[in-house]
Amino acid sequence: MICLYKKNVFSLSIFLPLVILVVVSCQVESSNSNEPKGVKQSNIKATTDITVLENAFSAKSGALYIDNSALVKSISLEPPFKVIPVRYEPQSSYLPNGFRCGLVFKSEGNEQALVTVGEGITEVLSCDGVIEIGQLKLNSYGNSSSHLGLIYGYRSPNTSFNGGLVVSYDADKQSWYVNEELSSDDIISEQASTFKKLQNMMGK
């Protein structure tokens, strides 16, 4: 708040209550402006805490959802990770009704929040949710020891379709990443509308 003080006050006794009121008002607002607006939490140890996940993905408050978690119960990764799929509305987006999707990878001593749809090669797409998740049977690819194949519901301003995406584990960096080399244009398309089709397109 900007407080304006008028010069040439004719009677101090008349204007004193007003001055006091203005000063008190300024002090109250100044005090409120110094209150913390929320702490950005970088760790996601309490993965069941939606607020922590919202902070990790920079999602709008109340607009992050655990997405089809039953799909990952049969997945056994090496190294072992618990996988939690999420769908959320980002704090800022140029797409109308633009939702993103991501994965939370959790293991002892290693936790990571990874945006899968809405950034990088899928930046122009909105995410309608994960449909299938499975471990791809591939030979070791560079520093990647594990690969996940995902089928998402994709949406753009003029179309919607089911397509694939490949997420891999970098053993050297000990982190998961969207494998842009394996996630070609053919993979992020209706040609890979099911996990079986995605696995066949990998050619192995």
Paired tokens of 82: 């618990």
Paired tokens of 142: 């560079």
| Residues 38/60, Cβ–Cβ less than 8 Å | no
Phi/psi region, residue 179 (left: phi>0; alpha: psi -120 to 50; beta: rest), is beta
Domain annotation covers residue 194: yes
Residue the block writes with tokens 């006091």: 20
Domain annotation covers residue 131: yes
pTM of the shown model: 0.72
Domain annotation covers residue 11: no
Residue the block writes with tokens 């607002």: 29
Domain annotation covers residue 1: no
Res 41: pLDDT: 34
Lowest mean pLDDT among 4-8, 86-90, 104-108, 151-155: 4-8
Domain annotation covers residue 36: no
Note down the domain range covering 174.
50-202
Specify the higher pLDDT residue, 152 or 107: 152
Domain annotation covers residue 108: yes
Encode 176-195: b = buried (16+ Cβ within 10 Å), e = exposed. bbbbeebbeeebbeeebbeb
Encode pLDDT of 102-136 as tens digits.
Answer: 999 988 877 899 999 999 999 888 999 999 999 88
Domain annotation covers residue 17: no
What's the whole-number mean pLDDT along residues 126-147? 81
Encode pLDDT of 161-186 as tens digits.
Answer: 999 999 999 888 889 999 999 999 99
DSSP H stretches of helix in the chain = 12-33, 50-57, 195-202
Percent of the chain predicted with pLDDT > 70: 68
Q: How many domains does the chain have?
A: 1
- Does residue 88 have a pLDDT over 70? yes
Res 182: pLDDT: 93
| Residues 140/165, Cβ–Cβ less than 8 Å | no
Encode pLDDT of 3-44 as tens digits.
Answer: 332 333 333 343 334 333 333 333 333 333 332 222 233 344
From 86, 83, 52, select the one nearest 67 (Cα to Cα): 86
Res 141: pLDDT: 66
Domain annotation covers residue 23: no
